[in-house]
Structure 1
Amino acid sequence: MQAVEHGTGGGAARRRSPRRRRIGVLVFDHVKTLDFVGPAEVFLEANQRIDSYEIVLISPDGGDIVTSLGMRVGVSSSAADAGELDTLIVPGSEVAPQVFADPELLDAVRMLAERSRRVASICSGAFALAALGLLDGRRAATHWKFTALLAARYPAVEVEPDSIFVKDGPVATSAGVAAGIDLALALVEDDLGPDHARAVAQLLLVYLRRSGGQSQFSVSLRGSAARTPVAQSIADYVAADPTRPCTVADLAAHANVSPRHVTRVMREEFGTTPIGFVNAMRLDLATRSLESGATVGRAAADAGYRSAEALRRAFVARSGVTPSEYQRRFRSAHRETA
C-alpha cells in the first residue's frame, strides 16, 4: 500500500512512491547551468504529486564546482561515494568537447554509469557518453551545433541531427539546454505515466511534446564561412540578391570557373549542391524577414519564392513547422506601438 504524505499549510496530499528513484546529476567546472537545473526541476516538480525522486548532485571529487554562469555549487557526494543510482544525468558545457577529455571527469561518468539503471546526457554531454563507448551502435542527439563534430569523431554513433531527444534502450540523449527539460519529462512519463508527466509540464508551463525538430532553432548557412575565393565569390553573389535566377551556369559564369568546379567547391565548402546552397540562402532570407515581422507573402516575395505556398513547403521541409508558427515562436519580443 502506498503511504500518503499530507502537506502542511493546506497543500494537497502527496503520495509517497514505494521506492524513490535516485537521480544523480554529475556537475563539473564549466557545466552549462540550465543543462542540469532544468531537468532537476522537472523531477523535483514531479514530487509535488508523487514523492518519487531523490535528486543527488555529484562532482567527480566531491568538491564544489563553478558553472558556466560563474555560480559556485556545492554537491552531495563524490562519484566514488554516490552509491547506486536509478538515473545518471550528464549535462553539457560550452567548452565541449575538450572538457570531456578530462580523465577524472570521464572516470566519474564511467563509474556512475556502471551503477545506474539508465544514463542520460544533455547537449554536449553526449561527448562523454560517446568517449566511453556508451553510444556505440545507438542513435543519439546533441545540440545542432555539435552534431557534425559528434558524428565525425564517433562514427559508431548514429547521430540524429534534428532530434530534440533520443531514447535508445537504457541510454538517452538530448539536444541543448531546454531540450533537457523535454527529455526529463519523457523519463518521468516512462516512470510514472503520461498523466503525471502532463501535469508536471502544465505546472512548469512547458509543452509535454514540442512539434518540429532542432531545425527550427538552428541557422543553416548564416554562420557558414567560405574558405576559398571561389566559394566566397559565389556566396556573396547569391547573398546580394537571392531573388535573381541562380543556375549552376550563372554561378560558374560569375566566378569565372567551370560548372563542374562550382559543384565541387560547393560540396567541399558547404556540404550541398549549388542549387541547394541557393535554396538555403533564400530560406535564410525569408526566415530573417519573418523574424523582423514581415508577412509570409512579403517574406516569400523578398526571398524569390513564386508564392507564399512555395515558401511554406520549403519551411516545413526544413524545420517541421510552418512559417506562421515559426514567426509566432521566434519573432522579436518588441511589439510595435501605434
Structure 2
Amino acid sequence: MQRRVVIVVFDGFQMFDLAGPADVFATANLLAPEPGYRVEVAAVRAGAVPAQNGITTLAETALGEVAGPIDTLLVVGGLSVPEHLRDRELIGGVARLASGARRVASVCNGSFLLAEAGLLGGRRATTHWLVAGEMAVRYPDVEVDADPIYIRDGNVWTSAGVSSGVDLALALVAGDHGHTLARNVARGLVVYLHRPGGQSQFSAPMRAAVPRAEPLREIQAFIDANPAEDLSVPSLARRAGMSERHFSRVFTGQTGVSPGRYVEHSRADAARRLLETTGHSLDRVARESGLGVPETLYRVFRRHWRVSPGDYRRRFRSKESSKS
C-alpha cells in the first residue's frame, strides 16, 4: 500500500514548503523498489490556491471532504499564516485530519497552525527562527526550540524555516524505508541528508534595544565599532562616567541584556562579518573581533551558531572575499 501524504495549503502559502517535500516523496517513488507515497494537496476549498510567489497550485480536495486513513498530514507555512490563524475551517480541518493520521508534520511557521489546532500542547517544537519568540509567547504550553532543523515529538514533527521541509521529508523517508533510500534521494536532489548545524547559523545577530540615555547609546555604538578594544565593564563604566555597578544596572535595564553579554554578541557578529567578507586567518579574525584567540572564537561560534568558524566560512564566504 502506498503511504498517503496530504499536504495542506492556503492562500499565500510558501511554495517551497509544498514543492520541497513533494519532490522528496516523488524522488523516493522513483528510487524505491516498493510502492512509496501518494501525495495529495488539500485546502479549505478545492481548486486554485495562489502561493505567496504568485504561482497558483491546484488543491484537489477540500479539507472537509478528505476521508479515509492518512499516513502523513503535512501543513505548510507562509507569510499569510497569521491571518489564517482565525480561519476556523482551516484550523478545524487540520485538527480533524490529524486525529486520524499516523503522523503530523509542519514546515516553517506552519507550526503555528498546528499549535492553533491544539496539536503542540506539552510538546517540543521548532519553527522559523524569525518567529520562534512570537510562538513561545503566543503558545506558552509549547516548548519552542529555534535551533534544530526539525524536531520529532511523538508522532508530531515540526521543521524550521522554508528549505528545512526538505530535511524533514528526508527524515520521514528514512524512517519509512531506511537511510539508504533517503541518502539516495538526497544525492539525487543534491542536498544534505543531514544538514550540518542548526538554523541558528542563518539567523540575524541578536540586537539589543537602543538605550534611551545618550551616554549609553554612545557606549553601544562604541562597542559595535571597536570590538578589539578593552570592553570590560570597568572600562565601559569609566567611558560612560558612571560607577561599575550603576553602569551595569542602567545598561541592562535599557538594553535588556548585560554589558558582558552584549559585548560577546557584538564581537561574535564582528567575527562573523570578517569570516564572510575576508580571507583572514582565524588568528587574525579572533584578534580583530576582540575574541583574542582561535580557541575563544571557536567556543563562541559553537555556542551561538552550533557550527565551527571554519564550517561557517565555507558556507557563507563570497568568492570575492576569498581574494582579500
**TM-score of the two chains, using structure 2 as the length reference:** 0.91
Higher helix share: 2
Q: Which residue in 1 is equivalent to 2:299?
A: 313
1:267 CA displacement = 4.5
Q: Which residue in 2 is equivalent to 1:3?
A: none
- The residue identity in structure 1 corresponding to 2:309 is P
Matches within 5 A, 1:191-270: 191-221=176-206, 224-226=208-210, 228-229=212-213, 232-256=217-241, 259-260=244-245, 262-264=247-249, 267=252
Alignment RMSD, CA only?
A: 2.2
Equivalent residue in structure 1 for 2:47, among 63, 68, 75: 63
- Classify the secondary structure of the residue corresponding to 1:117: strand
Say whether 1:328 aligns with 2:314: yes
Do the aligned partners of residues 102 and 233 (structure 1) sit closer, same or farther apart at CA in structure 2, a change above 3 Å counting? farther
Query: Sequence identity, in percent?
Result: 40
1:34 CA displacement = 0.8
1:140 CA displacement = 0.4
- Classify the secondary structure of the residue corresponding to 1:65: strand
Q: Which residue in 2 is equivalent to 1:29?
A: 11
1:96 CA displacement = 3.9
1:219 CA displacement = 2.1
Query: 1:97·1:124 contact (CA, 8 Å) conserved in 2?
Result: no
Equivalent residue in structure 2 for 1:86, among 65, 71, 90: 71
1:280 CA displacement = 0.7
Aligned equivalents of 1:117 and 1:166: distance in 2? 16
Q: Which moved more, 1:95-104 or 1:133-142?
A: 95-104
Say whether 1:117 aligns with 2:99: no
- The residue identity in structure 1 corresponding to 2:90 is L
Q: Which residue in 2 is equivalent to 1:97?
A: 82
Q: Which residue in 2 is equivalent to 1:6?
A: none
Query: 1:166·1:172 contact (CA, 8 Å) conserved in 2?
Result: yes
Q: Which residue in 1 is equivalent to 2:286?
A: 300
Equivalent residue in structure 2 for 1:278, among 263, 268, 275: 263
- The residue identity in structure 1 corresponding to 2:235 is D
Matches within 5 A, 1:40-189: 40-50=22-32, 51-83=35-67, 84-189=69-174
Do the aligned partners of residues 190 and 241 (structure 1) sit closer, same or farther apart at CA in structure 2, a change above 3 Å counting? same
Aligned equivalents of 2:87 and 2:204: distance in 1? 30
**TM-score of the two chains, using structure 1 as the length reference:** 0.87
Aligned equivalents of 1:319 and 1:337: distance in 2? 25
- The residue identity in structure 1 corresponding to 2:41 is L
Q: Which residue in 2 is equivalent to 1:12?
A: none
Do the aligned partners of residues 196 and 95 (structure 1) sit closer, same or farther apart at CA in structure 2, a change above 3 Å counting? same
Query: 1:120·1:173 contact (CA, 8 Å) conserved in 2?
Result: yes
Aligned equivalents of 1:333 and 1:108: distance in 2? 48
Do the aligned partners of residues 71 and 139 (structure 1) sit closer, same or farther apart at CA in structure 2, a change above 3 Å counting? same
1:335 CA displacement = 7.0
Query: 1:219·1:284 contact (CA, 8 Å) conserved in 2?
Result: no
* Deviation per residue, 1:184-240 (Å, 9 max, x gap): 11111111111111111111111111221122111222x555263465333212112
Q: Which residue in 2 is equivalent to 1:5?
A: none
Query: 2:75·2:105 contact (CA, 8 Å) conserved in 1?
Result: yes
Residues paired across the two proteins, number: 319
In structure 1, stretches of 5+ residues that fail to align are 1-18
In structure 2, stretches of 5+ residues that fail to align are none
Aligned equivalents of 2:250 and 2:4: distance in 1? 52
- The residue identity in structure 1 corresponding to 2:38 is E
